[in-house]
Structures are given as structure tokens and as C-alpha cells.
Structure 1
Amino acid sequence: MIVVSAASGAFGRLVVDRLLEGGAAGRVVAAVRRPEKAVDLAARGVTVRHGDYDDPATLRTAFAGADRLLLISSPELDTARRTAQHRAAVDAARAAGVGSLVYTSFLGADTRAEGLTAAHHATERALAASGLPHTVLRHPFYTEAFVHPGLRDAVAAGELADGTAGRGLNTALRGDLAEAAARVLTEDAHLGRAYDFTGNLWDHHELAEALSRVCGRPVVRRNRADRAPGARGWLEEQVRAGALERQTDDLRHVLGRPPTSLDAAVAALLGHPRPGSPDARPAGPGTS
């Protein structure tokens, strides 16, 4: 039995999709905070259980009988609360006798214990101390944070404003990361490993070229000096500092293929596939 926590979220649903596509129907359990939000999963043959990160008793019940558990990190932004939620989940997994646990961490969490990585760092330490067999999947930022339908405005204007100073990004699509998680959950070669996932390195000049190719209209990159509002401004600061340029082959290794190309990501996320192009869709299981 494979239990996926937070299975009604965007990433959790993708993992469930990949598991079902891979033939795991009848063996998948979705642990969710609000079961009424997962009736569509139940209709597909997925067992739905109540599992709330803030209620450890529900977690023990949700995780019961799991050969493998995917612990998807909480969306909680407060570090102390998020850390407490994760520790409660690890304790519940141990109490429930879970066979092995797969945890979605963040790049750098093995060495940095501040900021975004603080709760992940604490969770990785808790896992190491728990005695539970486990695998750690350290994620990069999602490509969807930078490549999204809002870029249609840039296509219409013929200009892509860029506040990253042209530095590289190692982002990955949720779909690729979900497929990797499904493989780790269903294959035996990953136990005890810690993977640092990165996608293909790209920059906004390449993004402008991809937008031009995929959408069939010329788009040029323009430097933007002013700071973008909110979270986008913070993200761009990280990129300008080179914090998203680290590269590994871990995602390619687990997927057994290259991560989805930038052109394919643009086509999928903007809904502009190039007619007849084999690269105009995100690569799924068994594709290259």
C-alpha cells in the first residue's frame, strides 16, 4: 500500500495521477485534511483517509498499513509550526509501522537551517533520528513560478521584462517532480538515498526565444531595473544572486530521461503547442 499525504493539493494530485498511470490502482491511499475535497480521487478507485498535519491521531490512522508513505511538505509558512507538523507526521509514521517514508524537501536543506530551508532541515534531521527507512527528494523552485499563463501579456507586447539580470534558473516542472516521486515510491533502488533535483538550466533570454518559437510571435527580453512586487521580487533577488544555478543529474537519473525542455514547458503552461512538434508537450512516463 502506498499512502500519499496532502494528496488533494496540486503536487499530491499529480503524484496520485502518476501512480495510477503506472498501474498502482487499488494500492493508493490519499491522506487529506478535508476528505470531501477528494471525492474525485475516490471515484478513481483511490482510498481516501482523513489525515491532518495538525492532528497526529488522524495521521496514525491515515498511515496505517503503508508499505511506503510520501510525506509532502506542509504549505505552512511559519517555520515553527511547519516543523512541528512534519515531526508529528514522522512520529505518526513510526507509530503506524510504515515500511519506508519518502519526504519532499528543498534544495540546500541538508546544509542550511535558515529561511526557506529551516523546517526542511529540521525534518531531515528528525527522519535521520527516527530509524525509519527513508528517501529524501530535495526540490528546486517550480518552473510554474516563472512560466505561467500570465506570460501571454509578454507575447502580446512582444517584450519580456526580466529582473533576474540574465542569471540561470534550475527550476523543474511539478509534473516531472511528481513522476520522480512516483518512481521512487514504486521502485526499490532509491531507499536510503537523498536526491537533489534540478531541471535544465535556463535564463530569460532563452525563455523569450521559447515564447517566440512556441507562440509564433517575436518576443525580446528587456532588463527591468525596478523590483517586482511581493514574492516575485524576492525570487528575482535569489536568481540575481546565483542561488538557482546549481545543477545535478539526479532528476534525469530518477526519471530515466531528460527533464522537460523549456519549449515543452512553455507549450504546456501557456497552452500554445506547436503543430506537429513532438516537443510541444511535457514528457510523461515512457516518453523522452
Structure 2
Amino acid sequence: MIVISAASGVLGRLVIDRLRTRADVVAAVRDPARAPEGVPVRRGDYDDPASLRTAFEGAARLLLISSPELDPGRRIGHHLAALAAAADVGVGAVVYTSFLDADTVATGMTEAHHATEQALLRSGLPYTILRHPFYSDAFVPLVSDGELTGSGGGRGLNTAFRSDLAEAAANVLTGEGHEGRAYDLTGPLWTHPEVAQALGVPYREVPEAAPGPMAWLNARIRAGALERQTPDLENVLGRPARTMLSHLHATL
């Protein structure tokens, strides 16, 4: 039996869709009323360790989808509670959705993921770590007034679509040879000027509107921090990952 934590989220639902015909799958959710349909449901609330033990009971494999909590302290607490529950009930193996560079960077966006990875290594539980990039779904370029604009300096983005990351998780959960491994999952590199050219519209670089999360992220893009490439996602999928251009051609 495979248990999917945080299964009412977008990623959890996508993973369950890909597992329905491949394995016995159980959805663990904070609110059973919001659970995916068509699979057994258990209440598993990151704020309620006792519910996690009940939710994870009998799991041969657990997909520990990271908590949506943004505060690093609370997020770490959620993950540690889930790992403790998994150990208490003898979960066979844990697959954890981490973030790129969490193995080496312990601050900022990766703080909670770094702490969780270290705790998972100390736990003695068999594990696989899936380090995700930013989701392509949140970066799909939009043409406005006949042009495409951006603030990333034309540098590359290694984003990946949730659907591919969900399929990769399903493959790891149902496959063999993944225990004790960490995968750095990067999508095919793309740039805003490349997309504009493919769409037949001009590209214009624009200054940041104001300080904030997007300004920070665009600065990272301009510095080339999102250009890292590995073959891990393609290898786990057993096929090329979906590109931004193929997504745009399919949807326009």
C-alpha cells in the first residue's frame, strides 16, 4: 500500500491519478471533505501527530509531500512529526518532495527542506529524495498587448511541469532501485526571448515594478541560478520532460 500525504493539493492529486491503476493507494489529508475521489481516505494532519500515525499505518511506501506552511519553523515541525510517525508505525520507505540545492543550502527557501533531508537521513528509514525545481505551471509566459515582457535578463529557467514531477514520483513509488538516492529534477531549459520568437511576438525586458518575491526571483534568474541541468527527471520518467514550448503549442 502507498500512502500520499497532503493528497488534497495539486501535486498529490496528480500523483494519485497516476497511481490508481498501478498500486493500492491511500490519500492522507487534513480535511477528508477535500480528499480526491475514488481512493481510500485517511485523516492525516501535520499539526496532529496521532492522526499521522493512523494515516501511515501499514504503508509500504509513503510519499511525504512537503507542508504548504511557509514559516520555516512550522514547516520543519510538520515534517519532523511526519517522519516520527512513519518511524513509529514502520513505514517501509519514505519518498520526500524536497527542493533543488536543499542538500547544500540551509537558508531561505531551502531551510526547511535542508533540515528535513538531514532528519530523514538520521531517521534510519529507507528513503528517496525528489528535489523539485520551480513549477513551470506558475511561469507560463503570457503575451500582453502583442508582446512578451520579462525581467530575467533573457537567462534560462529549468522549471518543470507538475504533471511530469507527479509521474516521476509515481514511478519512484512503484519502481525498484531508488532507495537511498536523491534526484535533482530539472526541466528542459527555456528562456523568455526563445518563447517570444517561437510565438512570433517581440520580447521586451522591463525593470522590476517593486521589491518583493518576484524581484528576488528575477534577480536569481539574471544571475543564472536557475540554469542548472541534470538528466535525473528524464531518467526517472523514461522519456523527455515536457518543454515550455510544447506546452504553449498545445494550449494556444
Equivalents in 2 of 1:226, 1:74: separation in Å? 30
- The partner residue of 2:25 within 5, 23, 28 is 28
How many residues are treated as equivalent by the alignment?
Answer: 252
Determine helix, strand or coil for the equivalent of 2:3.
Answer: strand
Aligned to 2:206: 224
Equivalents in 2 of 1:254, 1:166: separation in Å? 29
- TM norm structure 2: 0.96
Determine helix, strand or coil for the equivalent of 1:167.
Answer: coil
Contact kept, 8 Å, 1:32 with 1:52, in 2: the verdict is yes
- The partner residue of 1:166 within 154, 159, 162 is 154
- The partner residue of 1:205 within 187, 193, 196 is 193
Aligned to 2:184: 196
1:55 CA displacement: 0.6
Q: For residue 259 of structure 1, what is the amino acid of its counterpart?
A: A
1:228–1:189 CA distance, 2 compared to 1 (3 A): farther
Equivalents in 2 of 1:173, 1:267: separation in Å? 15
Aligned to 1:266: 248
Question: 1:1-288 to 2 correspondence within 5 Å?
Answer: 1-20=1-20, 22-24=21-23, 27-38=24-35, 41-42=36-37, 44=38, 46-147=39-140, 151=142, 154=143, 157-210=145-198, 212=199, 218-227=200-209, 230-267=212-249, 271-272=251-252
1:228 CA displacement: 5.5
Uncovered stretches (5+) of structure 1, i.e. residues with no partner:
213-217, 273-288
Determine helix, strand or coil for the equivalent of 2:172.
Answer: helix
Determine helix, strand or coil for the equivalent of 1:157.
Answer: coil
Contact kept, 8 Å, 1:163 with 1:227, in 2: the verdict is no
Contact kept, 8 Å, 2:140 with 2:244, in 1: the verdict is no
RMSD: 1.3
Uncovered stretches (5+) of structure 2, i.e. residues with no partner:
none
State the 4+ residue runs in structure 1 displaced beyond 4 angstroms: none
What are the superposed Cα offsets for residues 98-125 of structure 1, whole Å, 9 maximum, x if unpaired? 0000000000000010000000000000
1:241 CA displacement: 1.5
- TM norm structure 1: 0.84
Determine helix, strand or coil for the equivalent of 2:4.
Answer: strand
Aligned to 1:285: none
The percent identity for this pair of structures is 62
